[in-house]
Structure 1
Amino acid sequence: MKSLSKVSFDQVVKKQFLYKLSAYSGVFISLIILQVIAVLFSLNGVGNSSGGSELVRLNIHYYSANLIFVFTMLWVFIVSIIITSKAYRNDDFSFVTNRLSSDLSNVCFVVLVSTIGTITALMSKYLLQVIVLLLPKFDSLYHSPVSMNIGSFLVIGILTAFLYVLLCGAAGYFVGTLVRVSSLFKILVPVLFVGYLFFGGFISQVSGLANIVEFFYLESSFIVFVLKVLITVLVLFASSVAIFNRMEVRQ
Structure 2
Amino acid sequence: MSLSNVTVQNVVKEQVRYKLSAYSGVYLSLVVLQLLGLLFSFNGSGMSGGGRGESFRYSIYHYTGDGVITFTLLWAFIVSIIITTRAYRNDDFTFVSNRLTSNLSNFLFLVLAAIIGAITAELSTYVLKVIMYFLPNFGPFYYTGNPYSLLVLLQGSMVTFLYIMLFAGLGYFVGTIIRLHPLLKVVVPVVLLGVLFFGGATGTGVPDIIKFFVEERSLTIFIAKSIATSFILFGASSWIFNRVEVRQ
TM-score for the superposition, normalised by structure 2: 0.89
Q: CA deviation at 1:184?
A: 3.3
Amino acid in the other structure paired with 2:165? L
Among residues 204, 227, 230, which one is paired with 2:227 in the alignment?
Answer: 230
The question of whether the paired residues in 2 share the 8 Å contact of 1:196 and 1:203 is answered with no
Alpha carbons of structure 1 residues 224 and 126: separation in structure 2 relative to 1, 3 Å: same
Tell me what 2:241 maps to. 244
The question of whether the paired residues in 1 share the 8 Å contact of 2:213 and 2:225 is answered with yes
The question of whether the paired residues in 2 share the 8 Å contact of 1:21 and 1:109 is answered with yes
Q: CA deviation at 1:69?
A: 0.4
Alpha carbons of structure 1 residues 128 and 176: separation in structure 2 relative to 1, 3 Å: same
Gaps of 5+ in 2: none
The question of whether the paired residues in 2 share the 8 Å contact of 1:43 and 1:63 is answered with yes
* Alignment partners' CA distance in 1, 2:132 and 2:114: 27
Tell me what 2:11 maps to. 12
* Alignment partners' CA distance in 1, 2:200 and 2:129: 32
Tell me what 1:60 maps to. 60
Q: CA deviation at 1:6?
A: 2.9
The question of whether the paired residues in 1 share the 8 Å contact of 2:15 and 2:95 is answered with yes
Partner SS, residue 26 of structure 1 = helix
2:70 is the counterpart of 1:70: yes
Amino acid in the other structure paired with 2:212? F
Partner SS, residue 61 of structure 2 = strand
TM-score for the superposition, normalised by structure 1: 0.88
* Alignment partners' CA distance in 2, 1:153 and 1:189: 38
Q: CA deviation at 1:40?
A: 0.9
Tell me what 2:206 maps to. 209
Tell me what 1:48 maps to. 47
Amino acid in the other structure paired with 1:142? Y
Say which is worse superposed, 132-141 or 45-54, in terms of deviation: 45-54
Q: CA deviation at 1:63?
A: 1.9
Gaps of 5+ in 1: none
Amino acid in the other structure paired with 2:77? F
Q: CA deviation at 1:182?
A: 2.6
Amino acid in the other structure paired with 2:139? F
Say which is worse superposed, 179-188 or 192-201, in terms of deviation: 192-201
The question of whether the paired residues in 2 share the 8 Å contact of 1:110 and 1:170 is answered with no
The question of whether the paired residues in 2 share the 8 Å contact of 1:181 and 1:247 is answered with no
Tell me what 2:32 maps to. 33
Q: Map 1:12-161 to 2 at 5 A.
A: 12-52=11-51, 57-135=57-135, 136-143=137-144, 150-161=149-160
